[in-house]
Structure 1
Amino acid sequence: MTRWAALPRAINAGKTLKMADLRAFLVEQGMRDVATLLASGNAVFACDETDARAIEDRLAAAARHRLSLDTDWFVRSHDELAAIAGANPFPDASAARPNLLMVLFFRDPVDPARLPRDHGGPERIHAVGRELFVDYAGGVGRSTLEPAMKRAKLPPATARNWNTLLKLVAATA
């Protein structure tokens, strides 16, 4: 049985969903040992399914039907989350400002050629597989990277800061 983390996009930052409702929904979908982390839709659970894409598709379809919630779902196993944490290209940022080091989760590998190269700000970005690490050294709100990312028309993603990533690694262990 695999321990998974589900990271739905924009929960309680545009799409409202109570965490009790999310837990009940996941149990209805056959997930076991369900827990939520924070109020942003992070959930951890166990299930026998071994295909993350299949879980993402199933949760997206069921959420549209059951919760009237149309959003993207990003699912990672404990091993994947631990590997993401281990691949951190910005250890200085995770130590000094973990709330400003973001990991963006995508469904497919990030194409580095599509990433903004010159956006005029202090942010650093680095793609590793299906994740994009972003060090918002000057803060997220003042970032000049955000408009450049929108212009790059990257596929849908969801972001979690370094502290939350580490909590997800621990919660899925």
Structure 2
Amino acid sequence: MTSTWYCALLRGIGPGNPNMRNDKLRGVFDGLGFTGVGSVLSSGNIVFATEATDTTALEDRIQAALRGELGIGGGTIVRSRSELAALVGTEPFGELQHARETYLTATFLKKPLEPVPEPFPEPEELAVRMVGYDPDARAVLAVSDNTSSSSPDFMAWLERRFGKDITTRTWLTVHRILKRMPDHT
């Protein structure tokens, strides 16, 4: 059986907490028997390979180990390399570039958004434009104008609208994660 590459997107990771540092996080994944374990940035992005294919079971197993070994209860969302590659391949942001003033974001949902609302909801009074929803990656895509102070409000809006089983990454981070995952096993 061949291994598949995955990324665990961990919610609520603060690298200032000693139990949330990359070396400790990687140790938990190594202890679970995953191979190729690596971290991307210090915000809870762990890449790994495994023969397991049930992502819900992987999420539950990883979260139980993080809670049991490090006391981390934030949440775990797993995406395969192929899911992330397909998302990036759709070029949902077109010619827009991620920059200090304009963040391109992907908010990953633990469960599929069913049904997908039409029209897609827009946060009122926030400097954010919703790009849409990618059902295969289970990701809500948005462009935030960071010249205003609405970013924290946008994160709160996302939780109110889609629940707490979500985690947001910048588009730049999604690309960095994908680069750390080989396209072969």
Class of the TM-score when normalised by the shorter of the 2 chains: 0.7 to 0.9
Q: Which runs of 5+ in 1 are unaligned?
A: none
Equivalent residue number for residue 23 of structure 2: 20
> How far is the alpha carbon of 1:69 from its aligned partner?
1.2
Match of 1:31 among 21, 28, 34: 34
**Shift in CA distance, 4/140, structure 1 to aligned 2, threshold 3 Å:** farther
Equivalent residue number for residue 120 of structure 1: 125
Map Cα deviations across residues 60-104 of structure 1 (whole Å, 9 max, x no partner). 1121112111121011111111011123422233x2538600111
Partners in 2 of 1:140 and 1:83 — Cα distance?
31
**Shift in CA distance, 13/108, structure 1 to aligned 2, threshold 3 Å:** farther
Partners in 1 of 2:47 and 2:75 — Cα distance?
16
Equivalent residue number for residue 72 of structure 2: 69
**Shift in CA distance, 139/147, structure 1 to aligned 2, threshold 3 Å:** farther
Partners in 2 of 1:147 and 1:40 — Cα distance?
18
Q: Which runs of 5+ in 2 are unaligned?
A: none
1:1-173, aligned counterparts within 5 Å?
Answer: 1-12=3-14, 17-93=20-96, 95=97, 97=99, 100-111=103-114, 112-113=116-117, 116-117=121-122, 119-125=124-130, 126-129=132-135, 130-139=138-147, 141-143=149-151, 145-152=154-161, 154-173=163-182
Looking at secondary structure, tell me which structure has more helix per residue: 1
Segment of structure 1 superposing worse, 15-24 or 146-155? 146-155
CA RMSD after TM alignment: 2.5
- Structure 1 runs (4+) greater than 4 angstroms displaced: 13-16
Map Cα deviations across residues 135-154 of structure 1 (whole Å, 9 max, x no partner). 10345742464454344353
Q: Are the counterparts in 1 of residues 159 and 166 from structure 2 also a CA contact under 8 Å?
A: no
> How far is the alpha carbon of 1:163 from its aligned partner?
0.9
> How far is the alpha carbon of 1:14 from its aligned partner?
8.7
Q: Are the counterparts in 1 of residues 126 and 150 from structure 2 also a CA contact under 8 Å?
A: no
Give the letter aligned to residue 124 of structure 2: H
